[in-house]
Chains A and B, each alone.
Chain A
Amino acid sequence: MNKVRRKFVLWAAAAIFVLLAILLAVINGISFTMAANDADRLTQSIADEGGGLFTDNMNDPQQGYPGAQNGRFGPMGPDSPEMKFSVRYFTVRIIGGIAQVTQFRISAISEQDAADWAMKLSKGTTGWTRGTYRYRVYEKDGNTCVIVIDQGRELLASYRILAISVIGGLLLTAISFVILVFVGKRLFHPLEDADRKQKQFIREAENEFKLPLTVISANTELIERRAGSSAQTDSINRQVRKMTALVRKLSTLSIYEDENDVSAVSLSDLLSAAIDAEKERYESRGIRLETNIAPDVTVNGSAEALRGVCEQLVDNSLKFSVSRALFTLSREGGRITLCASNDARLPDGTADQVFDRFTRLSNANGVEGDGLGLSFVKDAVKVHDGRVEAKVSNGEFCVRILL
């Protein structure tokens, strides 16, 4: 359950982080796009005014600017005539391959540098150059003209928003993570409690059954030794054996939860060993056994639990195969796939039921078992962060484990 809680917290934090990242990316994208648009409108405006050769009209709002009323302008946007006076820019006209600086209202570079720079930019149309400069190339009286404006001050606001977004985003994610850890604890508490109680019950049931079973079998043997065996003592022995097998399976369940029992385990070896041990039984039952096991497939996990998985799959296949059984183990990239298939002749649509505890399907009639095998496989694989799938199609049964 701790793992589930950890997963919940991590996934929820990741989801919050992604959503915040998308939101902040959109905000910053808009901010930078607006800065570029403003700069473009400004360079267009300067170009329209004759490349920055301001006329007298420009200072006369009554004549020059329809947007102006009584000599007053609205907020100073890129369309404001005032903007031109606050901007650092230079304009260059290229006549016969010679760059001639026509306006120079910038101190960061020399006129000569401006001319050289404009020559280089003259092949483009508009865009950012040297980080914070926006340029526009246009034709005027048959000559190419270049306007370069310094948008550093305007972009600073956008960069500040970006910095605040990044810091704020990370901070919000961290805060969300802390809140999620806290909320997760409270949210999962009842579930963890129920899970703990269930495990406790299984452990107690396992332990409580162990002693009486041992006592019953000892006393049954004592009766047999003193009075000879009878149908009744045989029956007791059979039931004790059944219960003993069940208790041992319950004991295996606790192995799956032992987090200290983790090492690099060769799944290839475990599966091969489990199959090798039962080869004779396959032969004696006339089941054609095929295997395709890739060597050196290792998993970090509990050797006991994974051995249990392999043995359970083989045991299951032995019990229910009619004429053939196939085991494959492969690794592609980081993904390990273990497949156990056979002609168990299960009815279609019963695949999901095979993992239910104490469930025995129609083909289990007359076959000894307790309906726990594949549910243990599922639990053990889950503990190893894997997935189990079952498929039934035209009587073919296939269990696929992905690790």
Chain B
Amino acid sequence: MVLSVRDLAVTRGGLAILEGVSFDLSPGEALVLRGPNGVGKTTLLRSVAGLQPPETGTVTGAEDQIAYAAHSDGLKAMLSVTENLKFWASVFGLSDIEPALVAFDLTDLRNRMAGTLSAGQKRRLGLARLMVTGRPIWILDEPTVSLDVTSVALFADAVRMHLKGGGSALMATHIDLGLTEARVLDLTPFKAAPRTRQMDEAFL
């Protein structure tokens, strides 16, 4: 399923920040979004994920196809690594979490409470969650925060495996993942001209 974004404009806090963004993401492809802080990478990803309606433009092919990983990992401190993953797997109607544990080197930590993990380990668990969703399009917002070089390599391998399996990935990141096949889209040229959003819907 091709994810296609056409002429997207997004707002943050009522201010237009990006406009005219268009791209396609076919199965097996990875697209890396770049741009300085505040350019609207997170807002764009949230719009694609359907969490925030775009001001104008359309996103097609995302419905029920995407797995979203935000800045925060959505882990419960009082649940163990296995319980956290099992929960997300069953929410998405799957049950096998072993490949995810192996891919992110979490097998030794499987019975630890998520609250006792280090920041990097939590991040790995948060990313392992993507693998148990079974969704073809991964949307990743700064996936490598607090990961060391080895873990970044683990993550890059997981993404590569996902792409090989017919999936695709859309990510905002600053560091080089070593994914040579990934296309890069710089968002700086799409910065919106300063204007305020029309308050046509008041609180909605």
Q: Do A and B bind each other?
A: no
> A interface vs B, CB < 8 Å?
none
